[in-house]
Chains A and B, each alone.
Chain A
């Protein structure tokens, strides 16, 4: 006997929701803190793991503090 149509719909929707949740979870885990610098000649470097990177994180932390937690949306 074939499953009832509303069950198919429910399965489909919850399947999409699971996919989306997994995507967001993966993105959060994989997106580690970083510091990237871009130069006028098109060159870019990632300095997150150097002393300069540590300084950048400290300076960025202060700016985040100044901006506060209030988001517009």
Chain B
């Protein structure tokens, strides 16, 4: 039986690959992070601690708005746009330039999380998810 710490390390390595792939795919992306369901930062561009705190603050505020857990959040401000997505027990947060294409961004985030959850994004495998979504 694999121990929990080893699994966490393996997922963290895959999350780095997933984040690298997401960054490469999205030209409007300024920064992003991937979190576990419990809020643990698995991968982040820059300060992972702050990403974790602020991402959880965003999701808590979003869940409180209607008293129901959200699946996606899209906040657009004058300074940039923020996307958050819960999928397959993982959380992706992305900050983009203004006027980024929301549907494309969320599609990329969703496919990245799906591949990460499936375990198809290994650090050694180059982090190329399969494109099986229509």
A interface residues, Cβ below 8 angstroms from B = 27, 31, 33-40, 45, 47, 50, 52-53, 55-64, 66-73
Q: Judging by beta carbons under 8 Å apart, are B75 and A57 in contact?
A: yes
Stretch at the interface among B5-13, B63-71, B113-121, B122-130: B63-71
Main secondary structure of the interface of A (DSSP, over half): mixed
Q: Judging by beta carbons under 8 Å apart, are A70 and B75 in contact?
A: no
Main secondary structure of the interface of B (DSSP, over half): mixed
Q: Which residues of A contact B47 (CB under 8 A)?
A: 66
Q: Which residues of B contact A45 (CB under 8 A)?
A: 65-66
CA–CA, A73 and B27, complex, Å:
6
CA–CA, A47 and B58, complex, Å:
13
Q: Judging by beta carbons under 8 Å apart, are A67 and B31 in contact?
A: yes
CA–CA, A39 and B55, complex, Å:
17
Instruction: Bin chain B's interface residue count.
Output: 35 or more
Q: Judging by beta carbons under 8 Å apart, are B76 and A63 in contact?
A: no
Q: Which residues of A contact B45 (CB under 8 A)?
A: 67
Which residue of chain A has the shortest Cβ distance to B27 in the bound complex? A73
Given A52-B65, A64-B80, A73-B28; A34-B57 close (CB under 8 Å): no
Q: Judging by beta carbons under 8 Å apart, are B71 and A39 in contact?
A: yes
Q: Judging by beta carbons under 8 Å apart, are B54 and A59 in contact?
A: yes
Of B28, B58, B70, B76, the residue contacting A38 (CB under 8 A) is B70
Q: Judging by beta carbons under 8 Å apart, are B99 and A61 in contact?
A: no
* In the complex, chain B residues 74-89 whose Cβ is within 8 Å of any chain A Cβ: 74-80, 82
Contact with A along B30-45 (1 / 0, CB 8 A): 1110000000000001
Of A27, A31, A34, A56, the residue contacting B58 (CB under 8 A) is A56
Which residue of chain B has the shortest Cβ distance to A34 in the bound complex? B76
Of B62, B69, B73, B76, the residue contacting A31 (CB under 8 A) is B76
